[in-house]
Amino acid sequence: MGSRYHFGTGEVRVWRVKLEHLLTAWPLVLERLKFAKHILLLTDYDGTLTPIVARPELANLTASMRLLLQELRRVHNVTLGVISGRALDDIKNKVGVKGIVYAGNHGLEIEGPGISFINPLADEIKPLIKIISYILHKTLGTMRGVFVEDKGLTLSIHYRLVEDNQTENVKGTLDQVVGGAQASGKIKITNGKKVFEVRPGVEWDKGKAIRLLMKKYGKGGRYSGLVPIFLGDDLTDEDGFEVIEKYGNGFSIFVGEPNTGTSARYCLKSPAEVEIFFSRLLESMSQGYK
């Protein structure tokens, strides 16, 4: 399998030229999974469990997907979790499955069986986020097609409905508002699919959240028998893919058309295929991986 290197600021990231389709590789996947003592099944929400939609409140789980998540939660050697850029309460309400791990704001806040976590530095910056939210609602909230989402610890500026020639105006206004805080290192801006994220300037991301959960539910590292699985569709998920790949005994799964550069090893083309994967996984575990 080929790979290519992306050189970012102070980092080298390996992107695979060709991904293995997870459903095509299913026999080999099952062969590895049947030796797992514990499976940590983690997934993004938007674009992974649900299709990308014009406004975040419109992204809802299908009844069949929710039922699969409920059934997977009941499997004795599976810990199920959803890691999202959404606020913690928002993602809990959207998924609506009890007894699983929920990580909101890209893992800055986590709740689940035996764990309750909030990044302390991000919590300190919360008042500044509130001020920036107020200003952005005044400056960007009136621009046609822009939606400013206040998620407590972070902000999302959605511009999917903005005309193409107005995108630079959105970014320019955002830079003006947060420029000083960004220069001081208190705030950072990241990009997603038609969204800008305003986050605390702390060294934390989905990858670090996944590493924390792996330590929590798989004491002993690679020798614990833990097999972590992470599914995601966006740039913010790449840190998670890299943690899985570095671990060496897990499955990193990019959801979307497989021609996009990613460090994931496997791919599924859509949330519909994610549902097929979950269904096959549940069926195989109930039959003892036969």
The structural domains of the chain, with segments of one domain joined by +, span: 3-119+204-286, 122-200
Q: What is the pTM of this model?
A: 0.86
pLDDT tens-digit map of 9-68 = 444 455 555 799 999 999 999 999 988 999 999 999 999 999 988 888 889 999 999 999
Distance of CA 262 to the CA centre of its chain: 14
| Residue range 192-220: mean pLDDT, rounded | 91
Superfamily of domain covering 3-119+204-286: HAD superfamily/HAD-like (3.40.50.1000)
pLDDT tens-digit map of 110-132 = 999 999 999 999 999 999 999 99
Alpha-carbon span 207 to 25, nearest angstrom: 25
Indicate which residues carry an active-site annotation: 44
Whether the per-residue pLDDT at 206 is higher than 70: the answer is yes
Kindly report the number of other CB atoms within 10 A of residue 7's CB atom: 8
Nearest CA-CA partner of 134 in 99, 82, 98, 177: 177
Cα radius of gyration (the chain): 19
| Residue range 65-73: mean pLDDT, rounded | 97
Alpha-carbon span 35 to 76, nearest angstrom: 15
**DSSP state, 250?**
S
Q: Which helix (H) or strand (E) holds 249?
A: none
**DSSP state, 289?**
-
Cβ neighbours of residue 86 under 8 Å, at least 6 residues apart?
A: 45, 46, 56, 94, 104, 105, 151
Alpha-carbon span 72 to 218, nearest angstrom: 18
Kindly report the number of other CB atoms within 10 A of residue 235's CB atom: 15
Alpha-carbon span 123 to 104, nearest angstrom: 13
| Residue range 192-198: mean pLDDT, rounded | 90
Output the DSSP codes for 99-119. TSEEEEGGGTEEEETTEEEE-
Cβ neighbours of residue 6 under 8 Å, at least 6 residues apart?
A: 12, 13, 14, 15, 261
The pLDDT confidence band at residue 2, using thresholds 50, 70 and 90, is: very low
Superfamily of domain covering 122-200: Trehalose-6-phosphate phosphatase related protein; domain 2 (3.30.70.1020)
Same fold, 3-119+204-286 and 122-200: no
